[in-house]
Amino acid sequence: MADVDVKVEITGSVWKIVTKPGDKVEEDDEIMILESMKMEIPVLAPEAGTVKEILVKENDSVVEDQTVAIIEN
Amino acid sequence: MSFDDKIKEHEARRAKAMAMGGEEKLAKRRNAGVLSARDRVKYLLDAGSFRESGLFGTSYIKEMREQTPADGKVCGFGELEGRPLGVVAYDFTVKGSSSSYTNNRKMVHIKDMGAKRGFPVVFLSESTGVRMPDVMGEGMGLTNEGNRFLRGRESPWVSALMGYAFGSAAWHACSSDFNVMRKGSVMAVASPRMVSRALKREVTGEELGGWQVHADHSGFADAVAESDEETLDIVKRFLGYMPSHQNEPPPVRPVPAGSDDDSGKILDLLPESLARVYDVRKVIKAFVDKDSFFEIKARYARSLTTALVRIGGHVVGIVANNPQFKGGVMDADGCCKATSFIVLCDSYNIPLVFLQDQPGFLIGPEAEKHGVIGKVINWMNALLQVTMPRISIILRKSYGRGFINMGAGGIAEEVAAWWSADVSFMDPRSAVTIVHGVEEEDDPERFNTLVEEMRARGGSAYDLASLYGVKEVIDPRETRAYLIDMLKYHRSRLTNGVGQHLLSRWPTSYV
């Protein structure tokens, strides 16, 4: 089993976290939703696996390439 | 020597050349699920159509002739779906398919004939690079580079990387119009071993130039495959969208049954709120010919989708903002992706359709460090030299200069808007903050009033249509019918569907 970093592609703030540790996800499933450029932009699972850790909380500011969650696959 | 002896000698020599690097090496490949160079050629071409060129070529060094059947490159001509093709298949079992004097001459011949006679050239590649030590010292005197990598796009080049690709294989991948990379392949300037020695740390092939490096970051992998067979299937599919050469239009195919069935689903895929995102690829699939969607650089710069499709049987290139990723914002990589796709389509007589839903170009220090301004203008330079038909449709929001790069503002011959279009210099919500200095969280009531005032300045589809800034306002469900009509009226009849190819010498590795 390997840890996979879930990174954000764009600077913004965490609007809603829609998964929790232990949740199973498929590739491209939504992990959380950012608010950026007046839009709700999903952060997607880069690979299928189980959510191991969520590293941010709602309303946190995040920057491009920041790791916001870890998936175990 | 009698004729019988001559025949026997011919057969023996042919059998030796066909045996490649020997059964032991071939068995190893078979056990690893990897095809040999000759198996790849066989899989690619119509059965029995391969006409080899240079079967009896060997190393120019006499003592090496016995160990270099076909000199490590299987070259020739053949047919794919009845259309002619040139093939260069690197045989890794012979000296790692390293580049040498003879096999380079064979490869040059196929490339030259592809350009001169008008057929695509396919490179089935894996190579260790230049043959060592042949070219050490005076061997460099045999170099005859000429115009080896000067592309005029007379006919398409396709590269399929299936293994290690250093030197020649890598250069041809990056000078091709389309490059597929099988997972497990490595493409780099120098091998991991050489790089590890230079950097004094272990560098793996995957880290140096694996499929993720080139599919996700460099953009040099236009597609990725799991196996040799899938790699070759993707090559075949790509060539199905291409003309044999630049002086003919791409092949027209019958329209599959059911292609009109999904247009009505577009409204289910499109969120009513501009704040909500969606995957534009699902929208495209709903209005193009059934199963004709063929995405290029799917993993690279994902906020912009580029795909070859068919509409009414005709090949069309789609450039679409994809709000699903980064909200559809256009960054430096996205600009490069759009530019290289525009060059591909215009060079091979493929009309372009732009689908707009974008918040603008990416701003900020990082974007500037990546040279986004220059990439925006390169895109414009390419777009302005297109001579094939250009059609732009504004789906939802389109703000700032991106509106023009995506074909509106007097560039495309036809511009239409869905009734959901919202066009302005910038998002009205951002404009309120900049013009009036009001943040939503500080004074929501005033903020919303000012946003409505800003919207009242007029950026709807009908506002644009009143100035003929868009020529038609359409229901999203009418997109297929609109495009079938427009592509029909804009077909380049005066030149039999062929453009002027003003971009045909644009660099191929511009990503």
Report the alpha-carbon distance of residue B39 to residue B223 in Å, rounded. 21
Residue B210, SS3 per DSSP: coil
Tell if the CB–CB gap between A9 and B429 is shorter than 8 Å: no
Q: CB of A40 within 8 Å of any CB in chain B?
A: yes
Give the number of other Cβ atoms within 10 Å of residue B441's Cβ: 6
Decide if B327 and A11 are in contact by the 8 Å CB cutoff: no
Interface pTM, i.e. ipTM: 0.80
Instruction: Count each helix (H run) and each strand (E run) in chain A, helices first.
Output: 0, 8
Say yes or no: B327 contacts chain A, CB-CB below 8 A.
Answer: yes
Of A24-38, B218-232, B295-309, the one with minimum mean pLDDT is A24-38
Residue of A41, A43, A61 best to disrupt the B interface, most CBs of B under 10 A: A41
- pLDDT tens digit sequence for B64-107: 999 999 999 999 999 999 999 999 999 999 999 998 989 999 99
Beginning with the edge strand found earlier in the chain, give each strand of the sheet holding A24-25 in spatial order.
A3-7, A67-72, A49-54, A24-25
Q: Who's near B43: CB < 8 A, 6+ residues apart?
A: B35, B228, B229, B232
* B chain contacts of residue A11, beta-carbon cutoff 8 Å: 364
> In sequence order, what are the beta bridge partners of A6?
A69
Q: Which of the two residues, B339 and B191, has the higher pLDDT score? A: B339
Residue B442 pLDDT: 86
In whole angstroms, give the CA distance from residue B238 to residue B179: 10
Contact assignment for A41 to B326 by CB distance below 8 Å: yes
Residue-wise burial string across B235-270, b where 16 or more C-beta atoms lie within 10 A, e elsewhere: beebbbbbbbbbbebbbeeebeeebeebbeebeebb
pLDDT at site B135: 65
Helix (H), strand (E), coil (C) string for B81-138: CCEEEEEEEECCCCHHHCECHHHHHHHHHHHHHHHHHHCCEEEEEEECCECCCCCCHH
> Which positions ≥6 away from B458 have C-beta within 8 Å?
none
Interface with chain A: mutation pick from B326, B369, B451, highest number of A CBs within 10 Å = B326
- Shortest CA distance from A10: residue in chain B: B326
Shortest distance, CA A42 to any CA of chain B (angstroms): 7
Contact of A9 with chain B, judged by CB distance below 8 Å, is answered with: yes
Q: What are B6-19's pLDDT values in tens digits? A: 999 999 999 999 99
* pLDDT computed for residue B138 by the predictor: 60
**CB nearest A40 (choices: B275, B326, B429):** B275
Burial class for B406, CB neighbours closer than 10 Å (0-12, 13-18, 19+): buried
Residue that the structure tokens 């094939």 belong to = B388
Work out the end-to-end distance of chain B between its first and last CA atoms, rounded to an integer number of angstroms.
Answer: 59
Question: Which of B95-109, B451-465, B496-510 shows the lowest mean pLDDT across its residues?
Answer: B451-465
pLDDT in tens, A6-32: 999 888 999 999 999 999 999 999 999
Collapsing DSSP to helix, strand or coil, A27 comes out as: coil
What is the bridge-based pairing of β-strands B73-80 and B83-90?
Answer: antiparallel
**How is residue A9 written in tokens?**
């592609």
| CA neighbor of B323 nearest in space, from B265, B382, B383, B273 | B273
* Length in residues, chain B: 511
Using the Cβ of B434 and the Cβ atoms of chain A, whether some distance falls under 8 Å is answered with no
Q: How many other CB atoms are found less than 10 A from the CB of residue B117?
A: 14
Integer-rounded Cα Rg, in Å, for chain B is 26
What confidence score (pLDDT) does residue B129 get? 83
Q: How far apart are CA A39 and CA B148, in angstroms?
A: 48
Do residues B157 and B123 lie in contact, with contact meaning Cβ atoms separated by under 8 Å? Answer: yes
Contacts of A39 in chain B (CB under 8 A): 274-277, 323, 327, 359
What is the rounded distance in angstroms from the CA atom of residue B243 to the CA atom of residue B421?
A: 35
Q: Are B291 and B240 in contact (CB under 8 A)?
A: no
B113 contact A CB<8A: no
**Least-confidence region, from B133-142, B145-154, B228-237, B266-275:** B133-142
Radius of gyration of chain A (CA): 11
Q: What's the CA gap between B272 and B277, in Å, rounded?
A: 10
The reply to whether residue A39 touches residue B327, judged by beta carbons under 8 angstroms, is yes
- C-beta pairs of B33-39 under 8 Å, 24+ apart in sequence: B33/B227, B33/B228, B34/B162, B34/B163, B34/B228, B35/B162, B35/B228, B35/B229, B36/B91, B36/B93, B37/B73, B37/B74, B37/B89, B37/B90, B37/B91, B37/B92, B37/B93, B37/B97, B37/B124, B38/B74, B38/B89, B38/B91
A64 and B CB contact within 8 Å: yes
Any CB–CB contact under 8 A between B146 and chain A?
Answer: no
Least reliable range by pLDDT among A37-41, B226-230, B384-388, B455-459: B455-459
**pLDDT at residue B190 is higher than 70:** yes
> Is residue B145 pLDDT above 80, yes or no?
no
The verdict on B282 touching A (C-beta cutoff 8 Å) is no
Q: How far apart are CA B26 and CA B30, in angstroms?
A: 6
> What's the confidence (pLDDT) of residue B140?
67
Asked if B167 and B211 touch (Cβ cutoff 8 Å), the reply is no
Partners of residue B324 in chain A, C-beta under 8 Å: 42
Which residue out of A38, A43, A62 would a mutagenesis test of the B interface target, given it has the greatest number of B Cβ atoms within 10 Å? A38
User: CA-CA distance, B392 to B418, in Å (whole number)?
Assistant: 11
Count residue pairs from A and B with Cβ separation < 8 A: 34
Lowest-pLDDT choice from A21-30, B97-106, B110-119, B446-455: B446-455
Dihedral sign (CA B220, B224, B229, B234): negative
- Which residue is closest to B428 within chain A, CA to CA? A38
Residues facing B352 on adjacent strands: B317, B390
- A38 closest CB neighbour out of B324, B366, B427: B427
The answer to whether the CB atoms of B329 and A42 lie below 8 A apart is no
Report the alpha-carbon angle B309-B229-B58, nearest 5.
Answer: 115
Q: What is the pLDDT of residue B125?
A: 95
> Exposed e or buried b for every residue in B184-219, given b needs 16+ CB within 10 A?
bbbbbebbbeebeeeeeeebebeebbbbebbbbeeb
Query: Is there a contact between B255 and B312 (Cβ–Cβ < 8 Å)?
Result: yes
